[in-house]
């Protein structure tokens, strides 16, 4: 589904990703962990197409096509979804209008009919239950005045509505209490499937108790320095990120453990 090779990316003159390799196959959930500043969020943003980052080398292939040639909206329409670490507030645009516009844009790209506001309400009702979201939120402006937890849940509602093939969760767990974390994780788990993949970017192992990954990668200094199964996350939790730096095995940087 997604194949990243030798990816290097800058923001301004600052190189953040320094030759990153990662392969995600259909149905797999990959966790990307790492200390602050290791490039986790940059990886997520580059896959989604954030214009502030320049890719200087390497390739990203999604379902056989060059992802780096695509605009952010084309990536979304092709089934990539990034749940933002800091969801953006858009005062004056209601959630209902925004979500329906997004839903219809994605449907149109897939050659499906657009839905009207009434049909869309039916779609929403079901999706909002997934994350226990109050329906009144539909008439509120996108994320405006939402608490941290509400914003993260709203990202998962969007994820559920757009039903992507590849979901990237960028520190969706940060700032959530344990109940909210469970709700968000349950929502994500219900969306898993054999043809759906996810990259879960997180600083803490905690989230991985709820969203159990197939693979865990440790990112440090802009490269993947270690990959393994879900047990790697537990080791990390016990020993901290410093332990990785001193115990990096030969051949680190390979995508698969």
Residues of the shown chain interacting with another protein in the complex, contacts defined by CB under 8 A: 48-52, 71-73, 75-77, 81-82, 84, 87-93, 97-98, 101-102, 105-106, 109, 141, 158, 162
Nearer to another protein, 166 or 216 (CB): 166
| Residue carrying structure tokens 């050659």 | 111
Nearer to another protein, 90 or 247 (CB): 90
Please name the residues in contact with 28: beta carbons below 8 A apart, sequence gap of 6 or more: 1, 197, 198, 214, 215
Nearer to another protein, 162 or 180 (CB): 162
Please name the residues in contact with 227: beta carbons below 8 A apart, sequence gap of 6 or more: 215, 216, 217, 218, 254, 255, 256, 257
Shortest approach of another protein to residue 125 CB, angstroms?
20
Shortest approach of another protein to residue 49 CB, angstroms?
7
81: tokens are 């979804």
Other CB atoms within a 10 A radius of the CB of residue 122 amount to 10
Classify 159 in phi/psi space as left (phi over 0), alpha (psi -120 to 50) or beta: alpha
Nearer to another protein, 34 or 87 (CB): 87
Nearer to another protein, 106 or 232 (CB): 106
Shortest approach of another protein to residue 206 CB, angstroms?
26
Please answer whether residues 134 and 183 qualify as being in contact, where contact means their C-beta atoms are separated by less than 8 angstroms.
no
Shortest approach of another protein to residue 36 CB, angstroms?
20
Shortest approach of another protein to residue 103 CB, angstroms?
8
| Gap between the terminal Cα atoms of the chain | 18
Interatomic CA distance for residues 158 and 18, integer angstroms: 31
């Amino acid at each position: 589904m997604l194949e990243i090779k030798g990816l290097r990316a800058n923001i301004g003159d600052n190189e953040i990703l320094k030759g990153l390799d990662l392969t995600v196959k259909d149905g797999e959930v990959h966790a990307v962990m790492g200390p602050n500043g290791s490039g986790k969020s940059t990886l997520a943003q580059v896959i989604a197409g954030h214009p502030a980052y320049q890719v200087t080398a390497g390739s990203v292939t999604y379902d056989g096509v060059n992802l780096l040639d695509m605009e952010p909206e084309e990536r979304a329409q092709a089934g990539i979804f990034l749940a933002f670490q800091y969801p953006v507030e858009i005062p004056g645009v209601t959630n209902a209008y925004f979500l329906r516009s997004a839903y219809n844009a994605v449907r149109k790209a897939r050659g499906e009919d657009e839905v009207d506001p009434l049909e869309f309400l039916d779609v929403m009702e079901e999706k909002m239950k997934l994350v226990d979201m109050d329906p009144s939120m539909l008439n509120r402006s996108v994320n405006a005045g939402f608490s941290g937890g509400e914003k993260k849940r709203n990202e998962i509602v969007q994820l559920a509505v757009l039903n992507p093939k590849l979901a990237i969760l960028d520190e969706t767990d940060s700032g959530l209490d344990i109940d909210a974390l469970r709700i968000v994780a349950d929502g994500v788990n219900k969306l898993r499937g054999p043809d759906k993949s996810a990259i879960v970017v997180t600083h803490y192992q905690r989230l991985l108790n709820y969203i159990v990954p197939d693979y865990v990668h440790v990112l440090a200094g802009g490269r993947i320095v270690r990959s393994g199964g879900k047990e790697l996350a537990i080791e990390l939790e016990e020993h901290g990120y410093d332990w990785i730096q001193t115990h990096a095995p030969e051949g680190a940087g390979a995508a698969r453990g």
